[in-house]
Amino acid sequence: MALLSIVLPAYNEEQNIANTSKVLAELLEENGIEYELVFISDGSRDGTFGQIQKAAEENPRIRGAEFSRNFGKEAGIFAGLEMAAGDAVLVMDCDLQHPPQVIPEMWKKWQDGAEVVEGIKSGRGKESVGHKLSAGLFYRIMSMLIKMDMRASSDFKLLDRKVVDVLLGLPERNTFFRALSFWTGFRTETVHYEVQERQFGESKWSFWSLMKYAISNATSFSTLPLQLVTVMGAISILFSLVLAVQTLVKFLVGDAVEGFTTVILLILIIGGFLMLSLGIIGHYIARIYEEVKGRPKYIISRVTENVQGEVLGSWRKV
Ligand code: UDP
Ligand code: MG
């Protein structure tokens, strides 16, 4: 029988683990789906890993690992994919904002031949105004840069083993799971869902962490900002051509430019463009630098007792 692995990245989610495990286990058993739950505690500072361990003792289908520090949700997802043994792997948040009720539908689509089943948000649920605004800005920037509509997409996805293996084989360190599964281009089906309210605790994303995430995703997934540098250069050249003609004409007429204002404006505009361009290029160089160093995406410090030793060995290679 086919096995479904569910990967659940968790950062300071001690209140959610027990409840989420229970809800998922009941739902999957009811629907007769063979499953395992893989919790990745992303360097949590609360009792998350203890909770995972407790859940694993109660239910042998639950396994988990703890990172040595907070490596971010992306790293958590990839560690989970690495650890998952299933023929299909589902990634979802462990705060139950991704409604478990649609899992049977996703599973059905996978059984019918879909290789990627994307969860598409039909609403964002109840969130604070500040969070809505920053998340809105985040998705706008991402969609523009990646040339995909990111607003409705999420990390709630079911992937076939083939797709998981492709993702795990990618050499890059800076990954963007949401767009990468799209990029792999396998047969994709979608499932619509309504974002639920968070069960316990609060959102782990601040305005700045979202912005940082947006910039890092944009630079790891798109070279559009680099082309922006060219556009700015073209604008400057056009501008300077106009001014050059004006200056020359005035000079020839014997009426030299008085233009102190022009000089100041030019210095400001060109200076601004140059520094912005350097900043953009700097971001890409930083990415290249990080990739070249080839450090692992994450470091695992502990695993639950029911995890096999050899699996741990293969993680260390990451
Ligand atoms: N998360 C994580 N590492 C982080 C931040 C978040 O593993 O550094 C997990 C978190 O525990 C949750 C999921 O990612 O399971 C989504 O996070 P959250 O609910 O805070 O985001 P939101 O739903 O508000 O977008
Ligand atoms: Mg959430």
Provide, rounded to the nearest whole percent, the portion of the chain with pLDDT above 90.
43
Mean pLDDT of 197-225: 79
* Top-confidence residue, 186 or 220: 186
In this predicted structure, the answer to whether residue 15 has a pLDDT above a threshold of 70 is yes
Interstrand relation of 3-10 and 188-194 (parallel, antiparallel or unpaired): unpaired
Order of strands, sheet of 300-303, starting from the edge strand that comes earlier in the sequence: 188-194, 116-123, 153-160, 88-91, 3-10, 34-41, 62-67, 300-303
Which atom from ligand 1 is nearest to the alpha carbon of 8? 15
* Top-confidence residue, 5 or 136: 5
And the tokens for 178? 């949401």
Task: Give the pLDDT of residue 135.
Answer: 77
Got the DSSP string for 170-210?
---SS--HHHHHHHH---EEEEEEEPPPPSSS--S--HHHH
d(CA 84, CA 20): 18
Report whether 25 contacts 54 (CB < 8 A).
no
Which atom from ligand 1 is nearest to the alpha carbon of 97? 23
Task: Give the pLDDT of residue 228.
Answer: 84
d(CA 84, CA 54): 19
**How confident is the prediction for the chain on average, in pLDDT?**
86
DSSP 102: G
d(CA 117, CA 137): 26
**Distance of CA 190 from the midpoint of ligand 2 (Å):** 20
d(CA 9, CA 40): 5
**Distance of CA 69 from the midpoint of ligand 2 (Å):** 20
Provide, rounded to the nearest whole percent, the portion of the chain with pLDDT above 70.
92
**Which of 96-100, 118-122, 289-293, 307-311 is least confident?**
307-311
Task: Give the pLDDT of residue 99.
Answer: 92
Task: Give the pLDDT of residue 38.
Answer: 95
Name the strand (E) or helix (H) holding 224.
helix 224-252
Task: Give the pLDDT of residue 124.
Answer: 61
Q: What is the pLDDT of residues 284-316, one digit of tens each?
A: 998 899 889 888 899 999 998 878 654 554 444
Ligand 1 mutation target, pool 39, 40, 95, most atoms within 8 A of CB: 95
Ligand 1 neighbours by CB, cut-off 6 Å: 9-11, 13, 42, 70, 72-73, 76, 93-95, 97, 203-205
Interstrand relation of 88-91 and 153-160 (parallel, antiparallel or unpaired): antiparallel
Task: Give the pLDDT of residue 75.
Answer: 93
* Top-confidence residue, 315 or 246: 246
Which atom from ligand 1 is nearest to the alpha carbon of 41? 7
pLDDT band for 50, please (50, 70, 90 cuts). very high
For atom 2 of ligand 1, the residue with the nearest CA is 73
Which atom from ligand 1 is nearest to the alpha carbon of 40? 7
Task: Give the pLDDT of residue 308.
Answer: 67
For atom 12 of ligand 1, the residue with the nearest CA is 93
pTM value?
Answer: 0.82
| Ion ligand 2: residue ranges with CB closer than 5 A | 93, 95, 97
Task: Give the pLDDT of residue 259.
Answer: 75
Which numbered ligand comes closest to the C-alpha of 205?
1
Q: What letters, b where the CB count within 10 A reaches 16 and e where it falls short, cover 261-289? A: eeeeeeeeeeeebeeebeebeebeeebee
Q: What is the pLDDT of residues 17-40, one digit of tens each?
A: 999 999 999 999 999 999 999 999
Ligand 1 mutation target, pool 66, 131, 204, most atoms within 8 A of CB: 204
d(CA 16, CA 35): 19
**Distance of CA 156 from the midpoint of ligand 1 (Å):** 12
Mean pLDDT of 203-219: 79
Q: What is the pLDDT of residues 199-208, one digit of tens each?
A: 777 777 777 8
